[in-house]
């Protein structure tokens, strides 16, 4: 239930940001453990990236209290942060480095998740 509410709130935020003369590009990708949706919002010269990464692998309980490092970029990661999965296995965040997205050819991003030193790469394609 909370996951659905989080997704609805996220989509409302995207719609509101898009309505302000901005342009939103959406990227989507998944691997065996993750589903990732990443939005790039361009508005009045500013660029902001927002994402939802949902863990779909096993052993979710073991990951709930672990720090999750994430990185995103074009061809290679250039921006990132740290967060924690919520009870439903969802990680939400933002990335603000303008250069990360201004060099993007618009077709593909790479999103990396690192937990306990183990890294997973998820290729995100523009939708």
Predicted confidence pLDDT, tens digits, the chain (127 residues)? 677 666 665 655 555 554 445 688 899 999 999 999 999 888 777 778 899 999 999 999 999 999 999 998 877 777 889 999 999 999 999 876 565 555 555 688 899 999 999 999 999 999 8
Predicted pLDDT of residue 14: 58
Predicted pLDDT of residue 95: 79
Please state, in angstroms and rounded to a whole number, the distance separating the CA atoms of residues 92 and 6: 9
Q: Are 112 and 122 in contact, with CB atoms under 8 Å apart?
A: yes
Predicted pLDDT of residue 96: 62
Please state, in angstroms and rounded to a whole number, the distance separating the CA atoms of residues 120 and 123: 10
If DSSP codes are grouped into helix, strand and coil, which group holds residue 91? strand
**Domain spans in the chain, listed from the N-terminal domain onward:** 2-126
Residue 6 sits at φ, ψ, to 5 deg, of -60, -45
pLDDT tens-digit series, residues 10-29: 655 555 554 445 688 899 99
> Residue 6 belongs to what H/E stretch?
helix 2-19
If DSSP codes are grouped into helix, strand and coil, which group holds residue 101? helix
Token pair belonging to 74: 């074009």
CATH topology of domain 2-126: Immunoglobulin-like (2.60.40)
Predicted pLDDT of residue 49: 87
Hunting for tokens 């523009």 — which residue is that? Answer: 126
Look up the pTM and report it: 0.76
Predicted pLDDT of residue 6: 64
Residue 8 sits at φ, ψ, to 5 deg, of -65, -45
């Amino acid at each position: 239930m909370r996951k659905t509410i989080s997704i609805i709130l996220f989509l409302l935020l995207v719609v509101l940001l898009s309505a302000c003369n901005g342009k939103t590009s959406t990227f989507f990708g998944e691997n065996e453990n993750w589903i990732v949706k990443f939005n790039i919002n361009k508005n009045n010269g500013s660029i902001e990236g927002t994402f939802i990464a949902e863990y779909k692998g096993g052993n979710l309980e073991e990951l709930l209290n672990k720090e999750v490092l994430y990185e995103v970029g074009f061809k290679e990661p250039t921006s990132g942060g740290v967060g924690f999965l919520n009870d439903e296995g969802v990680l939400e965040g933002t990335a603000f480095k303008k250069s990360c997205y201004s060099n993007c050819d618009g077709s593909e991003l790479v999103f990396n998740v690192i937990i306990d030193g183990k890294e997973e790469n998820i290729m995100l394609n523009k939708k």
